[in-house]
Each structure stands twice: as C-alpha cells, then as structure tokens.
Copies of this chain bind each other. A is one copy, B any other.
C-alpha cells in the first residue's frame, strides 16, 4: 500500500512544516515565525518553504497577509489529519468501505429524488437507462451506469446533493479502477442491473420515496453480492 504523501516523508517540506506547527504548540489563531526565520529552523530555502506554505494555505490550515505575518487558522483543518486528495482517498479506501458509503448515501439521495423530481429530470433519467441497454462493451456500460446514477442525483433538484454524489462517484472510480474482472465482452440482456435500474426508475417516476429508497438499496446490495460474494 502507498504511504500517505507526507505522513512518513521527512524530506517533504510540507510534512516538515506540518510537523513544526503541530509539535510547536501553535494554537489556532497564533502567529508563526516570519518566513526568513522558518527557513533557518527548517533548513530549507525560502522558495521551498513558500511552496509548502502555499499548499497549507490552499488547504485552509493557515492564512497569510503582507506585513502582518502567517497565522494558524481557527479550524485546524489539515494539521492533525492532512486532507488528502480524493484520488488519495480512493487509493486507501477498501472496496467494502466504498460500498458501505454508497449504501449509506445513494438510497437517501434516491428517496429525495422521488420527492423532488421534475418531469424533465425523469426524462433524462430514463434516457440514461435506455442507453445502457445499447452499449457494446463494458466501458461504455460503466459510463451509462454513471449517467443513470448521476441523473438520479440531479433529479433531487439540489446542487449540493449533486456535488455530494459527484464526490462519492469520483472516489468510486478511483477504487474500482482495475479491480473488476468481467466474464464476457459486454453486459448481456439478462444482466441483473438492467432490471434493478428499471425498478428504481419506476419507483421514482411514481414519486414513491420509500419504494425508491428500497429499490436503490436492493440494487446496491445486488452489486455488492456480485463483487464480494453472497455473504
């Protein structure tokens, strides 16, 4: 497994700077030494130090102002637990935990979609579902499967829930990458997901919140069973 980018790497300036702040008793809101002093304490040149400060500032761990100095943010985000990128999260997350997260989030979004879906959103959703039937290889199927699930998120008519789904989905792609073994060149017409998708779409179209929730939950459990075995 890959170590975290700057957890174990003492030669990484960003991790050294994090360590300096974390172990230097700098409380939120307190001021750091000026850059020209930090260069001495950390033993790096100013340009290298500034690159590390840029990274921490972008994460929100510190804020700076000309003439004033550099200060530790009120929320210590990124100091005790450096906020890894989503790609990094995808690399660390086990497929089982990925699936548990999907089972937690997606049925809830699906229920909200059943409550808020406009007719236009329903059309979009059904379109994505039908396209999945016509694909000629697994890669295209994945794309259309993505589109179908995303169409459900958009049917909630809530940009924040769409953003939540996108975050979930981005990590999912990183986790799934290269882990899947297919037994055929393309999904057959009896692929279980096709039927499950239709149950979901029907429930949402009928504005049935509980039915939509259960349909999505069953679908994901079915996917889970195919991935990890029935257990």
Contacts and interface: CB of A to CB of B under 8 A. Distances in A.
Q: How many copies does the complex hold?
A: 2
Contacts of A93: 159-160
Interface in A43-99: 51, 54-55, 58-60, 73, 75, 77-78, 80-81, 83, 85-89, 92-93, 97-98
Nearest to A167: B167
A107 to B, nearest CB: 8
Interface stretch (A34-42, A171-179, A190-198, A219-227): A171-179
A100 interface: yes
Interface stretch (A19-27, A108-116, A181-189, A199-207): A108-116
Contact of A167 (B54, B73, B81, B177): B81
Contact of A159 (B58, B92, B162): B92
A51 B50 CA distance: 10
Contacts of A130: none
A138 to B, nearest CB: 15
A164 interface: yes
A168 interface: yes
A87 B60 contact: yes
A79 to B, nearest CB: 10
A97 B156 CA distance: 10
Given A60-B87, A104-B158, 16 more contacts: A1-B159, A75-B173, A77-B85, A77-B170, A78-B85, A80-B170, A83-B166, A98-B160, A100-B112, A104-B108, A104-B156, A105-B108, A105-B161, A105-B164, A108-B108, A167-B167
